[in-house]
């Protein structure tokens, strides 16, 4: 494997290019291509993904799992190192000009996120991190908060995508446990905020690996922790992350 710093630079370059294009072409790329329940696919997703796949593919031989294209690369499922890409996390936010959306690029080592870039292009904030090396916001070091009591903390979450009586009961319990609960519509951004100490924890059910991999890597690089549970990388996951002082949300 190449040095993590070199791989992080590859991810940053790809995210920068995609983020700039998403910002420049928001009007013409805000065309709804498909709708599935609460999920919306827009032209921007595919345009940004094409830019990222070309940039990553030209600089790295590792296979890719991406939101739109799925698995890319020969024998992708059996490889140790895999790129996980969400070309536009928060498509509805982008469509509505709500600024919480991001390009999310991560590298997985045996399924565990080890580096990530979350480019919140609409806000001019790029969060980066590599486990064991550190985490940064626009080049300045960031660190998780030290708040230990959920009653004094902020939880980033979302309504369970596959709601059931049990999942909604847990969701309600989280609302009562934390001082404040935020639902901003972008898992990547929400996790980056935990890494930067803007919130203490993140919890969501039904996320996909490309939604959360970069953010989880940055949380760990910033001194926090994460838990990812699920049957496979291309299946819905249970994800929790936190600052390491509060207990990970159930």
3-class DSSP string for 14-47: HHHHHHHHHHHCHHHHCCEEEEECCEEEEHHHHH
Are both 200 and 91 inside the same structural domain?
no
Instruction: Note whether 161 and 134 are same-domain residues.
Output: no
Question: What's this model's pTM, rounded to 2 decimal places?
Answer: 0.93
Residues of the chain with pLDDT under 50: none
Note whether 184 and 130 are same-domain residues: no
157 part of a folded domain: yes
Distance of CA 248 to the CA centre of its chain: 17
In a domain, residue 72? The reply is yes
159: nearest Cα among 210, 96, 205:
205
In this structure, what is the dihedral angle of CA atoms 65, 236, 231, 196, given to the nearest 10 degrees?
70
Residue 126 lies in a domain: yes
Tell me: do 79 and 196 sit in the same domain: no
Indicate which CATH number applies to the domain containing 235. 3.40.190.80
Residue 82 lies in a domain: yes
- Domain assignment of residue 247, yes or no: no
Is residue 159 domain-shared with residue 131, that is, in the same domain? Answer: no
- What is the DSSP secondary structure assignment for residue 230, as one 8-state letter? -
Assign residue 116 the CATH number of its domain: 3.30.540.10
**Of 100, 122, 141, at which residue does a domain stop?**
141
Which of 123, 141, 159 is a domain's end point?
141
Retrieve residue 249's tokens: 């949300």
Expressed as residue numbers, the domain containing 163 is: 150-242
Residues 184 and 101 placed together within one structural domain of the fold: no
62 lies in the same domain as 19: yes
pLDDT of amino acid 229: 95
- Domain co-membership, 9 together with 44: yes
Asked whether 87 and 65 are in contact (CB, 8 A), the reply is no
pLDDT of residue 74: 56
The rounded distance, in Å, linking the Cα atoms of 130 and 135 is: 7
Q: Are residues 64 and 94 in the same domain?
A: yes
In the chain the first and final C-alpha atoms are separated, in Å, by: 35
Assess if residue 250 is contained within a domain.
no
Neighbours of 167 (CB within 10 A): 15
Which residues, other chains included, contact 45 with Cβ-Cβ below 8 Å and sequence gap of 6+? Answer: 33, 67, 68, 87, 88, 91
73 and 173 part of one domain: no
pLDDT of residue 163: 56
Chain segment 159-190, per-residue pLDDT in tens: 655 556 666 777 788 888 899 999 999 999 99
Total number of domains constituting the chain: 2
Residue 41 lies in a domain: yes
Same domain? For 104 and 161 the reply is: no
- Residue 144 contacts residue 222 (beta carbons within 8 Å): yes
Element (H, E) at 12: helix 4-24
Q: Which one of 141, 163, 194 terminates a domain?
A: 141
State how far the Cα of 167 lies from the Cα of 173, in Å rounded to an integer.
10
């Amino acid at each position: 494997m190449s040095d993590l710093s070199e791989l992080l630079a590859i991810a940053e370059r790809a995210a920068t290019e995609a983020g700039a294009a998403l910002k420049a072409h928001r009007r013409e790329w805000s065309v709804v291509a498909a709708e599935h329940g609460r999920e919306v696919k827009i032209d921007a997703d595919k345009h940004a993904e094409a830019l990222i796949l070309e940039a990553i593919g030209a600089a790295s031989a590792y296979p890719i799992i991406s939101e739109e294209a799925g698995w890319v690369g020969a024998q992708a499922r059996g490889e140790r190192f895999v790129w996980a890409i969400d070309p536009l996390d928060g498509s509805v936010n982008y469509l509505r000009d709500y600024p919480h959306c991001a390009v999310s690029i991560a590298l997985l080592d045996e399924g565990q996120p080890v580096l990530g870039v979350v480019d919140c292009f609409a806000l001019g904030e790029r969060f980066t991190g590599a486990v064991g090396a550190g985490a940064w916001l626009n080049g300045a070091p960031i660190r998780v908060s030290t708040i230990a009591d959920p009653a004094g903390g902020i939880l980033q979450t979302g309504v369970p995508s596959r709601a059931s009586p049990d999942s909604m009961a847990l969701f309600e319990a989280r609302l009562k446990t934390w001082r404040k609960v935020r639902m901003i519509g972008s898992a990547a951004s929400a996790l980056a905020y935990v890494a930067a100490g803007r919130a203490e924890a993140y919890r969501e059910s039904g996320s996909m690996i490309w939604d959360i991999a970069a953010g989880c890597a940055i949380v760990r690089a910033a001194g926090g922790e994460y838990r990812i549970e699920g049957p496979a990388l291309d299946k819905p996951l249970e994800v929790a992350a936190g600052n390491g002082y509060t207990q990970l949300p159930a």
